Amino acid sequence: MATMEDVAKLAGVSISTVSHVVNETRPVAGATRERVLAAIESTGYTGNAIARSLVTGGTKSIGVAMSLLANPHLPQLMHAIDAEATAAGYTVLLGDTLDAEDGERAAVRKLQARRVDGMLLTPAPGDTSTLEQLARTGVPAVLVDRVSHKIKLDQVGPENIQSTSTLVQHLATAGHRRIAFISGVEWMSASEERTLGYRLGLGRAGLRWDSNLVAGGGATHEDGVLAMRRLLTVPERPTAVITGNGAMTAGAYREARAHGLTIGTDLAITGHDEVDWAELVSPAITTMTHPVDEIGRTAVRLLLARLQDPTRAPETILLAPTLNHRSSCGCRAA
């Protein structure tokens, strides 16, 4: 493994100069800095982040705890996070939560063992203990995508009330009067907000709330299947369904087709989250598309602000989704 001494010899400078370039502890002349950087690239020198952390108090690294499989937007989200972190001089370490409580706790422990300066976390369904521990112990952390107003941490995710209301009104404008809703994980603020948005949309459209048209979902494909199966047993079944996320949209779509229903004609389906297969099925899926890039970049900015000022009040930022109008809603796409 290349050492700082190897870099210094190749660049023709002192070891202390290499240290100043690597750790940014003192300004170094442009030409000298370029020679050092070229030597670093040539030798493959990576330094010892853990050793530096003992001196500087930080590793200049950010931990990201998310599910590698449950989040369909992970590549796009990670690209945004990495770009923003790199621009600020930080590296990113990823831990897979498996979208489960035990997996989340394990991922957080592993990232903390790597002495990350702070953490971005997409909470696993049902797990509040890990979040409460992070808040209680003062670990710099930001909740990403799935927010919970019951936890005192910085958070960023999509706006849910007005966007869900927009979906209801869109379907009502197309003539639907029996509009069902498949909600998400109960404890999450996003689920509560989308349910509120659903009720708000019904009121704005002059439609009555009917508890038979609300199915408790979750977060998975199977949750969408089971919720749609229940909705289709209602005596006066719905003519349109709104889902809480992309995985449940897929499950609901599949179950409706299994019952011989033609999507867009017999039953309209719309939902939160853009999915990569939305235009590969017929009819294409109308979605409420979340601003994934901006969510990722904003999460990093919130974490850096927390590292800069640990005593600042927790902040929640909600970013507006965009209606991506296609054909599954049963009306002509824009």
User: What pLDDT is attached to residue 54?
Assistant: 47
Query: What percent of the chain is modeled with pLDDT above 70?
Result: 95
User: What pLDDT is attached to residue 149?
Assistant: 78
User: What pLDDT is attached to residue 40?
Assistant: 85
Residue 239: CATH number of its domain: 3.40.50.2300
Window from 21-25, 71-75, 120-124, 288-292 with minimum mean pLDDT: 21-25
Q: Is residue 112 part of a domain?
A: yes
**Per-residue pLDDT at 53 exceeds 60:** no
Question: pLDDT band at residue 69, thresholds of 50, 70 and 90?
Answer: confident
User: What pLDDT is attached to residue 331?
Assistant: 79
Within 13 Å, how many C-alpha atoms sit on residue 77's CB side?
25
The answer to whether 272 touches 182, Cβ cutoff 8 Å, is no
What domain range is 280 assigned to? 160-290
Q: Are residues 47 and 84 in the same domain?
A: no
Question: pLDDT band at residue 3, thresholds of 50, 70 and 90?
Answer: confident
Model pTM score: 0.78
User: What pLDDT is attached to residue 52?
Assistant: 54
Cross-strand partners of 326:
none
Q: Are residues 173 and 191 in the same domain?
A: yes
In the chain, the amino acid numbered 190 is: A
User: What pLDDT is attached to residue 57?
Assistant: 60
Q: Residue holding tokens 């640990």?
A: 310
Domain total of the chain: 3
Q: Is residue 40 part of a domain?
A: yes
> What is the residue-averaged pLDDT of the chain?
90
Q: Residue holding tokens 């199966």?
A: 229
User: What pLDDT is attached to residue 333?
Assistant: 45
Q: Are residues 300 and 280 in the same domain?
A: no
Q: Which residue has the higher pLDDT, 317 or 4?
A: 317
Q: Are residues 165 and 285 in the same domain?
A: yes
Q: Are residues 167 and 180 in the same domain?
A: yes
Q: Are residues 179 and 154 in the same domain?
A: no
Q: Is residue 333 part of a domain?
A: no
Q: Which of 242, 291, 287, 250 is nearest to 144 (CA)?
A: 291
**Per-residue pLDDT at 10 exceeds 60:** yes
Cross-strand partners of 273:
none
Q: Is residue 271 part of a domain?
A: yes
Q: Running DSSP on this structure, what letter comes out for residue 213? A: G
User: CA geometry: angle at 246 spanning 244 and 247, to 5°?
Assistant: 100
**DSSP secondary structure string for all residues of 84-143:** HHHHTT-EEEEEE-TTSHHHHHHHHHHHHHTT-SEEEE-PPTT--HHHHHHHHHT--EEE
The answer to whether 131 touches 143, Cβ cutoff 8 Å, is yes
Question: Can you list the alpha helix ranges (DSSP code H) found in the chain?
Answer: 4-11, 15-23, 30-43, 49-56, 74-87, 101-113, 129-137, 161-173, 189-204, 221-231, 246-258, 292-308
**Per-residue pLDDT at 71 exceeds 80:** no
Q: Is residue 327 part of a domain?
A: no
Q: Are residues 150 and 296 in the same domain?
A: yes
Cα–Cα distance list, 39 to 15, 183, 268, 316 (Å): 12, 55, 61, 43
**Per-residue pLDDT at 48 exceeds 70:** no
Query: What percent of the chain is modeled with pLDDT above 90?
Result: 64
Q: Are residues 151 and 299 in the same domain?
A: yes
Q: Are residues 52 and 72 in the same domain?
A: no
Query: Using N-to-C axis directions, what is the helix angle for 4-11 and 30-43, rounded to 10°?
Result: 130
Residue 19: CATH number of its domain: 1.10.260.40
Q: Is residue 220 part of a domain?
A: yes
Q: What is the pLDDT of residues 76-131, one digit of tens each?
A: 999 999 999 999 999 999 999 998 889 998 999 899 888 899 999 998 877 788 88
Contacts of residue 136, Cβ cutoff 8 Å, sequence gap at least 6: none
Q: Is residue 332 part of a domain?
A: no
Q: Are residues 220 and 318 in the same domain?
A: no
Q: Are residues 129 and 191 in the same domain?
A: no
Q: Is residue 123 part of a domain?
A: yes
Task: Tell me how far apart the 2 most distant CA atoms of the chain are, in Å.
Answer: 83
Q: Are residues 68 and 132 in the same domain?
A: yes
**Per-residue pLDDT at 72 exceeds 90:** no
